[in-house]
Structure 1
Amino acid sequence: MEIQQSSLYKMYIQSLGWQVVSLDGSNVFIRRFPFVGSLAKIQRPTKLPNLTKLVPVLKQYNVRTLAVEPDRRVAQIQLRAWCKRIGRHVRLNGMPFLPTKTMYINLSPSGQAIFDKFSEAKRRAVRRSIKNNVTVKESTNIDDLIRVKNKSAGMFGFITTYGIKKLWNIFAPKHAAILLAYSSPNETVGGVLLLFWKDTAYYWIAGATKKGKKLFAPTLLVWEALKLAKNRGAKQFDFVGVWDERIPNKFHEWKGFTKFKEGFGGAAQYYPLTP
């Protein structure tokens, strides 16, 4: 089970004003919108819901649009057939809410073995960041992370951190951690929010200031996040999204951070695409 189907994520979604219906082993997120009907999302189910159970729920909540984004264990051919049947009852959303491709790093090897799989440029960046006197510390201050992320994302940075404080309050401390990077004791130049569920650590949100990027803080933060995740018992590290070459005309803006994430030696993982 991925984190989007967890009990804590259900609480988080409800805190944002969504209704959650548990159906056939999966959580269905429903949000009503005036005049246009409701939107339903089924995110990362390990199996597709039985239509005889799902369709009545969609009608009950006046769902006009359905987004389904299954777990990697759902085969593409199975999703295609399921969508063809459900498409007779509701409009399917064609634009993904969640990444369709991600990168996983296996945390089972030793820390040194994980580091050795980094590209030469990434290993050098870690060393240069340390040489630049960047320090990384674990924190419980979600406001500091939000400030860094908002600053790094530009004019509309607040959109990228919507609901993050609620997420932190629900998941922390057992299932979340914050790492902040400092160029000096009073200057935060980067940060990462990690979420933990089952045996997976999720690289949920990350950001760095211009100064932090010049000091290679983002690379050092990933290295420290990998070590923290391993120490907390995670078996794999999910980068939570990279650009997907199967849909080349979408999310071009992701190519930059995709190149960044690919430098850490992970393996690509693909989710089935909604037709």
Structure 2
Amino acid sequence: MIDIRQTPDYANYLKLLGWKTEKISGGQIFVKKFPLIGSIIKVQRIKPPLPFAEIEKIAKQNRAFQILIDQEINKSKRAKEQESRIDFKINQKPYFPTKTIQVDLTKPEPEIFNSFSEAKRRAVRKAEKNGIMVKQAKDFREFLWLKKHSLWEKNIIPFATDNEIKNLYLAFYPKSAKILIAYFQEKPVAGIFLLHANKVAYYWLAAATKEGKKMFAPSLLAWEAFKLAKKMNCEIFDFEGIYDERYPVKAWLGFTKFKEGFGGKEIYFPPSLIKNRFSF
């Protein structure tokens, strides 16, 4: 399946953030120019094999000081050859999820629910018992408030959050995005910004207040997102990133445990690659 990062909607999203799209064999790549110093090139989940000659040609044309490649799964014999190119190094601090969980949505709803861990099924029922209600939002404002509020609760400054969420909404909504909000006594306590393309639903962004977490709102919200994705004829629900032991980031352990409770299959992507200016 073609990854959402290879769709016109995603290209439009990055355009709103100041990136230029270049077409190459197998898909599209993105260029961000910086005055005087050159540019950065991002290659995200492009269909293999990677056209390195085309990528490097565009890099030279745009005076790129860095190329970042996040590879799609490649089962061909050339996969290892691509991963071990001398002029590219494995990025030990990837900017992009290198491991995820995907849930098969083609199964009946009861079977999907029963594949959850016992604790997760109990959390969904507790949220319902607590009176959590889930509704689709008509714009991004409540989700934006939730995201910023949840970051402040973690003592994280929500830098650029307004710009990110507003432009996601402008690029994807309503054709390729849905926003779900969980309410407790009519107060928003959790939300999901769900993207979808090519029969895959992506758990792109999520947020919850401390109160929402205590009421198990995120678990019910994810279950409702599964059901909505099925109604939209999606066949896969992608949790869009979990902890990867190859590149351990302890901050990812918490939400990874949350996502693992929904069952599904762990998916490993090939290593992220990086090439810096001195290599050109």
If the length of structure 2 is used for normalisation, what is the TM-score?
0.90
Equivalent runs, 1:205-224 vs 2, <5 Å: 205-224=205-224
Letter in 1 for 2:25: D
* 3-state SS of 1:163 partner: helix
User: Which position in structure 2 is the counterpart of 1:73?
Assistant: 74
Segment drifting more, 261-270 vs 46-55? 46-55
- Cross-structure match for 1:125: 123
Task: Give secondary structure in 2 for the equivalent of 1:195.
Answer: strand
- The alignment partner of 1:194 has SS state of strand
Query: Following the alignment from structure 1 to structure 2, what is the Cα–Cα distance between the partners of residues 128 and 143?
Result: 27
Asked if the contact 2:21/2:28 (under 8 Å) is kept, the reply is yes
1:201–1:234 contact (8 Å) kept in structure 2: yes
The 8 Å contact of residues 65 and 92 in structure 1, kept in 2 or not, is answered as no
Aligned runs of 1:89-168 on 2, under 5 Å? 94-154=92-152, 155-160=156-161, 162-168=163-169
1:1-275 equivalences in 2 (<5 Å): 1-73=2-74, 76-81=79-84, 83-84=85-86, 86-87=87-88, 94-154=92-152, 155-160=156-161, 162-185=163-186, 187-248=187-248, 251-274=249-272
- Paired residues in the alignment total 267
Whole-Å Cα distance in 2 between the matches of residues 158 and 229 of structure 1? 30
Kindly state the Cα deviation for residue 244 of structure 1 after the two structures are TM-superposed: 0.2
Output the amino acid matched with 1:70: Q
State the 1:8 CA deviation: 0.8
Q: Which amino acid aligns with 2:122?
A: R
Cα drift, residue 54 of structure 1: 2.5
Q: Is the 8 A contact 1:102 1:238 kept in 2?
A: yes
The residue type paired with residue 96 of structure 1 is P
1:176–1:241 Cα change, 3 Å: same
Which residue identity lines up with residue 203 of structure 2 in the other structure? Y
Q: Compute the RMSD of aligned alpha carbons.
A: 1.7
1-structure distance, mates of 2:92, 2:118: 39
Native 8 Å contact 1:18 1:29 kept in 2: yes
Amino acid at match of 1:79: Q
Contact kept, 8 Å, 2:135 with 2:182, in 1: the verdict is yes
Measured after TM superposition, the shift of residue 79 of structure 1 is 2.8
* Counterpart Cα distance in 1 of 2:81 and 2:27: 17
Give the Cα–Cα distance (whole angstroms) in 1 for the partners of residues 66 and 125 of structure 2: 49
Q: Which has the higher contact order (CA 8 A, sep 6+)?
A: 2
Matched to 2:81, the amino acid is Q
**48-57 or 232-241: bigger deviation:** 48-57
Shift of 1:52: 3.0
Q: Distance in 1 between matches of 2:75 and 2:151?
A: 34
Distance 1:183 1:53 in 2: 52
3-state secondary structure, aligned to 2:136: strand
Identity %: 39
Contact 2:98 2:272 in 1 (8 A): no
Task: Provide the secondary structure at the position in 2 that maps to 1:98.
Answer: coil
Any conservation in 1 of the 2:92–2:247 contact (CA below 8 Å)?
no
User: Structure 2 unaligned runs (5+)?
Assistant: 274-280
SS of match in other structure, 2:116: coil
State the secondary structure of the residue aligned to 2:244: coil
Judge conservation of contact 1:48–1:70 (CA < 8 Å) in 2. Answer: no
Instruction: Please report how far the alpha carbon of residue 160 of structure 1 lies from its aligned counterpart in structure 2 after TM superposition.
Output: 4.6
Aligned partner letter, 2:58: V
Where in structure 1 are there 5+ consecutive unaligned residues? none
Q: Report SS of the residue matched to 2:42.
A: strand
Residue pair 1:179, 1:225 contacting (<8 A) in 2 also: yes
Deviations 1:80-128 (A, max 9, x none): 24x32x54xxx87553121000000000111110000111101001111
CA distance in 1, matches of 2:231, 2:83: 40
- Match of 2:166, SS state, is helix
Q: Name the SS for the 1:121 alignment partner.
A: helix
